[in-house]
Amino acid sequence: MQKNVFLVGKIKHSDLDHYFNASDIFVLNSGYEGLSHVLIEALNYGLPIIASDKGGNKEVIKENFNGLLVKYNDKEEWKKAILNLINNRKLRLKFIKNSQIDLKRFDYSFMFNKTKEIFEKI
């Protein structure tokens, strides 16, 4: 595992591109998230994602459509999900394809227009 998994800690924003491009999957085991921009960035880089089922992660990741949602800090479930994704190329490709389609709902113009529609209704 030490040859394949890197826990890099905090990195500079300017270095993100390097890390995203070097990754095969993206994992976010977070106990709380609003709308996680890092998940949207990972989708934009075409990474299959595994995220905790907390907070706004469920707004970005649609279970078994563009990623997997796992119970926060459930080590056995995380291990199972990671191995499933590593060993299932077809599933990884499905998530990547669906993510590119689904990213449109996070486009600035789309989000602006949806917000404007809401304000016009109230």
Domain count along the chain: 1
Residue 5 lies in a domain: no
**4 falls within a domain:** no
In a domain, residue 46? The reply is yes
- The size of the chain, in residues, is 122
Structure tokens at 76: 């056995």
Range of the structural domain that residue 39 is part of: 13-121
Q: Say if 69 falls within a structural domain.
A: yes
Q: Is the pLDDT of residue 1 over 90?
A: no
pLDDT tens digits for range 23-60: 999 999 998 888 888 999 999 999 999 999 999 999 99
Residue 7 placed within a domain = no
pLDDT (tens digit, 9 = 90+) per residue, 99-109?
Answer: 988 888 888 88
- Whichever domain contains 98, its CATH number is 3.40.50.2000
Contact between residue 85 and residue 68 where contact means Cβ atoms under 8 Å apart: yes
- Asked whether residue 39 is assigned to any structural domain, the reply reads yes
Q: Strands, DSSP E only, in the chain?
A: 26-28, 49-52, 67-70
DSSP code for 44: H
